[in-house]
Chain A
């Protein structure tokens, strides 16, 4: 029999049992939709991370005090550790210690709220070099100017505020030049940042930046740092610079065994790799769940095909009597199960794609993430071929059973 005729026969077979066929492929539809969603959302997340690196620079090195956190309970250790001091910064600045160091910026985090004429708001307050952070993230004030190095040296009581902070405290009124209160002390607003939403790992709109020196002396009463950013001369120099930093700090802290380090060094590269690893294991985990659903779906297809073969024993007998070969019958039933699963796969791709699109819109609208909607072509190809493979694997046994039926037995069957 010509292939086209066989295909037509198979499709007719499916059409006559529409409801049954639809229910049978549900498992396949769900699995393939899940595959598409996992791959689409995985690709979106990956894109987002890659954007972050290019936004933040892969030449940035972060030094934090305390032991590297291995779990959530270790984070407090970092926040309250006092191991990174001004002396360390001076040592790292020396060319003889870290030759490829381009720039070094210490920072502190100030817990607390800000207020202005009775309005109070809880932003994220950083003691940092605002100009450096701004240029690293490519953000420039909408109004006013970043505070200068001189301000930092002189412990100036000045702040740069995000757009949300401005709106919460001042509404539509002028904010530039006004004084806001942090822990009862007045700080002059010297710049307002443009609305940017989530950039890198914090929300620009909800941030208050002030000189780290001011934060240390006026607000916290400490002389250590919670974070030190180091910029290497080039992304290629990052690895060597990390080593130099570690050696210098160990010397400063009299540490001989790296196990006893009271600081740890992070690179963007490393962070990205970590996140990628997490995403990858998540994908593998979800995929194995999908695989189980797929097998269950396949068993459903096999079941329905076996029922169909029995129901149509008579038809098989007749077809053989008028000249169908075993191969014709095998192909007819195999094509039927493959059409069934491929249609299921196609529907799954459409549903999975639509759901991914909805997730994208939600992430963009409600979480202000710069998330890009992609359905990788490979996921469509993979989805369809997996569906077809399930059709072949689970359709083969019923189809073989059909093809092996003896024509007389089949004709006798009522």
Chain B
């Protein structure tokens, strides 16, 4: 079967005030359907740039990237929005919820852009929130929730359109250990249910939840190793 993510010699160069910054200098790897991959690296290693390219938010300067066999260059702007809406679920470090909007409306956002009817939106959103254990918080606003709960709302939002891949950018970076563990528990469960997950982190412990760990350094892949003993249940580290 064809890998869901194919990255071949991808380069990304930024031009700022005639200074070239090489964020990615030739990166190649694949991710198969249903895999849970962690991309690790210190800040400035180019891992965020990579995630933007993987998430069809940015174009590579050189090289080939295909998601589900499709390249970003094939789409015009509205189609790209459609692909992001249907194929990709994002989870960000800062949660990125709409602060004045209720939990359920936040989760419904991708459905609204998919043009689904309101009644149906509500049903699907409730199911997604149940999966992350937040059925009792539907009408709260994000500011009334803890960081961990906010991130769970964000995961529900990422799941709602049943995307091909979930991209998570330092999802535990802003959380305490306990909340972080809860989030990683959810990712493990989603993986078990067959979701493809690409997670970016600089914490080795978090990376160990994945089946495979790709290390990035200075815009190049330093290592790409299978993790034979992924963490299944979060370890209590008090």
Contact = CB atoms under 8 A, between A and B. Distances in A.
23 contacts: A1-B112, A2-B115, A9-B112, A16-B100, A314-B96, A315-B98, A317-B96, A318-B96, A320-B84, A321-B96, A322-B85, A322-B90, A322-B110, A323-B81, A323-B114, A323-B161, A325-B82, A326-B81, A328-B81, A328-B113, A408-B52, A408-B57, A411-B92
B186 interface: no
Contacts of B118: 4-5
A5 to B, nearest CB: 4
Secondary structure call for the B interface: helix
A408 B58 contact: yes
A351 interface: no
B96 A1 contact: no
Interface string A1-24: 110110001001000100000000
Given A323-B161, A325-B77, 10 more contacts: A1-B113, A5-B118, A9-B112, A12-B101, A16-B100, A315-B98, A322-B113, A323-B85, A325-B78, A408-B57
A321 B85 CA distance: 8
A347 B157 CA distance: 38
Contacts, number: 64
Interface in A304-342: 314-315, 317-328
Nearest to B160: A322
A314 to B, nearest CB: 7
Interface string B156-181: 01000100000000000000000000
A57 interface: no
A411 to B, nearest CB: 7
Nearest to A320: B81
B46 to A, nearest CB: 14
Nearest to A9: B112
A407 interface: yes
Interface in B84-109: 84-86, 90, 92, 96, 98, 100-101, 109
Contacts of B55: 321
B117 to A, nearest CB: 8
Interface size, A (range): 20 to 34
B57 A407 contact: yes
Interface residues of B, number: 27
A408 B81 CA distance: 13
Given A1-B113, A5-B112, A324 B96 contact: no
A16 B105 CA distance: 15
B67 to A, nearest CB: 15
A327 to B, nearest CB: 7
A5 B110 CA distance: 12
Given A326-B77, A407-B57, A2 B92 contact: no
A324 to B, nearest CB: 5
A319 B113 CA distance: 9
B112 A2 contact: yes
Contacts of B161: 323
